[in-house]
Chain A
Amino acid sequence: MTLNRRNLLKAGVAAAALPLLGSRAFAQSEPLKVGFMLIGTVNDNGWNFGHATGAKFMKDTLGDLVAEPTIVENVPEGPDCERVLRELAQSGHKLIFATSFGYGDYVIKVAEQFPDVRFEHATGYQRSDNVATYNARFHEGRAVCGTIAGHMSKTGKAGYIGSFPIPEVVMGINAFVLAARKVNPDFTITPVYISTWNDPAKEADTARAMIDQGIDVIAQHTDGPAALQVAEERGIVGGFGQGADMSAFAPKAQLTSIIDHWGPHYVNAAQAVIDGTWETGDRWPGLKEGEVQIGPYGESVPADVVAAAEAVKNGQIDGSFNIFTGPINDHTGAEKVPAGVIMTDAELLSMDWYVEGVIPPA
């Protein structure tokens, strides 16, 4: 929380300093128009909701320096998004956030035509002079969740509902089980990919299938609270909110949640554009910067488990702990990362293998 406040403070200081700068360059200019392009709807309680909340945070923090953010929902990954990007750029938006991986090719393409517009592409890897990429180290949050699961699971079996096996998801699964096995060396996790980001009934049935086969902790990478609601209904050990605090849906079953807090990043990026200091690059902040947050712990989580989880969280914040530190074996038991070696960001971002303890899917 302190980190969050620090970020707020930073933004506040920047905002307070701005009238001085503004008198020189920006007093008479229009407020910055910022556009957001989303793959789904802002009402999904998950990924897109997180970005919309971040947009609102940016507006609330920067006030009159930015215009009311423009949010375009339900933009498919394909030629349609190219059109939306140009629409945004053409209608005077000087900073555009494209928040789904599949937008990448089009962001690069449109950015060439609008050199004075800054683009930021979430979860991507293609950059140019006016295209930056950004993401959040969600796997740090997964490590905290895995620690709780390792302590609390009675069966030592967790399930992980994913959409598609992209590196982001694989990384989350691996971080979760690595953390859990530090507590319980026999811990296993079974990923189930359901080939969709939003089919709540299928998510719920997946959770049922897991629980019926002895899994008592469920994590998910899909949007929405469906799996948590099943956990609540069945009274298993529990699950984790994804993207946002979902305790309203599962007051008992939610052990904690990973909260996406894009707000500070959006404030910083908008501020940099206003100041003329924006630069391309890859920004991948995590717990330390407050972009990933751990929500309140559930009532069923005992104090010692909270302490263990907090230790993992704080270790990642102060840099003393990195979940992807060797020795790490793959699921067959072969050593992939030697003892003491920390995996690089590049290795993480293209991770396509499972660590020991994952029961690999087809």
Chain B
Amino acid sequence: MMQFRLEKRREPSKVMLYATPVAAVVLTMIVGAIIFSAIGYDGVGAVREIFLTPLTNAFKWQDLGVKAAPLIIVGVGLSIAYRANVWNIGAEGQYIMGGLAATWVALATHGMGGWWTLPVMMLAGVAGGAAYAAIPALLRTRLNVNEILTSLMLTYASVQLIYYLVRAPWKDPMGMGFPQTRRFASEALLPNILPGTIVHAGVPIAVIVALVAWFIMSRSVFGYQMRVVGAAPHAARYGGFSENKTIWLALLVSGALAGLAGMLEVAGPFQRMVPGFPTNYGFTAIIVAFLGRLNPLGVIFAGIVMAITFVGGEVAQTTIGLSSSATGVFQAMMLFFLLAGDILVRYRLKRVAPQGEARA
């Protein structure tokens, strides 16, 4: 009987690093089509509408850009943190606090804004996100409290903060009593950069953020430090890199970028703060970070792939009546394949003769 066994590669395979995400997407399309056909849906149609239509229909590209932008910005921040083995899963909360901080600026300066409004909102968003991420950083470095859990708990608290603010102190006096803030003044709205489309300034910002992050991570001491602390904490300590400092940097950077994304969303597509502001970008970006192999350039690709499934999911609803829950199943399937493929980056499959006791 033939057996396979996994053998660790000396170095992660470059080929597999790039091939597995593509393979995951292709496998999802094939397996998804088969499974959905088997249970009585138009499986091929579902795959076509979810994965291909958003790409082939040029009218959908603007949607992909707008949907991918916040995912990329948050995903880049998270990929930096995860490289350093700092598990910030509260990006959703930091995104919300960034949005709220920017909203506060927009409301406080309403009617007296100017060219400086957007930059100040941007600073507020970055500061809001970073400040919220500073709480898990403080607790982790001072008290050794697990950041996965604190950052997650803070996310739920921040959702309630939105509800409270838009229901009571920030409620639009002209909003017919609905829980939402007033629409921002025009100085507090992101400019549209492509006339006739919905593409706002956040889209190029996302690309710039990813490029800058890539440059810093691969070319600077900071990037080196993050990677070393993540990959080999003991070696890092010998090398004089402080683990606490890395934790602080990782959380602040990922929080700041999540906050920036929050600001861009509220000043771009939302144009006011509403209870529906949390749209799971912070959680989806975790997946984007992994899909992009924790590499800022990969995150661009991953953000677009995730955006395709969202946009395509809605296309499939309108064209072939595929329910929204089916899109969720497709997304999960793609992630499963992708995560499964990870192993091929680090290991190779090797055929071995049957063995009695195979202990390493």
Closest Cβ neighbor of A35 among chain B residues = B318
Neighbour of A74 across the interface among B179, B276, B324, CB < 8 A: B324
Kindly state whether residue B167 has any CB partner on chain A within 8 Å: yes
Which chain B residues (135-191) contact chain A, with CB distance < 8 Å?
Answer: 160, 163, 167, 176-180, 183
Task: Looking at the assembled complex, report how far the CB atom of A107 sits from the nearest CB atom of chain B, in whole angstroms.
Answer: 13
Report which A residues bind B (CB closer than 8 A). Answer: 35, 41, 70-80, 82-84, 86-88, 90-91, 101-102, 105, 125, 164-167, 170, 195, 349-352
Neighbour of B276 across the interface among A102, A195, A352, CB < 8 A: A102
Other than the given A79-B66, A105-B183, 17 more pairs (CB < 8 A) read: A41-B324, A72-B314, A72-B324, A75-B314, A77-B275, A78-B269, A78-B277, A80-B279, A80-B314, A83-B311, A86-B63, A87-B315, A102-B180, A102-B275, A125-B176, A167-B177, A195-B163
Q: Is the CB of A164 within 8 A of B274?
A: no
Closest Cβ neighbor of B59 among chain A residues = A90
Report the bound CA distance from A90 to B275 in whole Å. Answer: 28
Q: Is the CB of A166 within 8 A of B179?
A: yes
Neighbour of B176 across the interface among A70, A75, A165, A350, CB < 8 A: A350
Report the bound CA distance from A35 to B315 in whole Å. Answer: 13
Q: Is the CB of A166 within 8 A of B276?
A: no
Closest Cβ neighbor of A75 among chain B residues = B314
Report the bound CA distance from A135 to B277 in whole Å. Answer: 24
Neighbour of A166 across the interface among B66, B178, B198, CB < 8 A: B178
Chain B, interface residues (CB within 8 Å), range: 35 or more
Tell me which residues across on chain A come within 8 A of B178, comparing CB atoms.
101, 166-167
Tell me which residues across on chain A come within 8 A of B276, comparing CB atoms.
76-78, 102
Interchain residue pairs with CB less than 8 A apart (10): A71-B317, A72-B318, A75-B314, A76-B279, A80-B67, A84-B314, A84-B318, A87-B315, A165-B179, A351-B177
Q: Is the CB of A77 within 8 A of B274?
A: yes
Tell me which residues across on chain A come within 8 A of B67, comparing CB atoms.
79-80, 83
Report the bound CA distance from A165 to B29 in whole Å. Answer: 44
Kindly state whether residue B301 has any CB partner on chain A within 8 Å: no
Q: Is the CB of B318 within 8 A of A349?
A: no
Q: Is the CB of B269 within 8 A of A164?
A: no
Tell me which residues across on chain A come within 8 A of B265, comparing CB atoms.
79
Task: Looking at the assembled complex, report how far the CB atom of B346 sits from the nearest CB atom of chain A, in whole angstroms.
Answer: 36
Which chain B residues (299-352) contact chain A, with CB distance < 8 Å?
Answer: 310-311, 314-315, 317-319, 321, 323-325
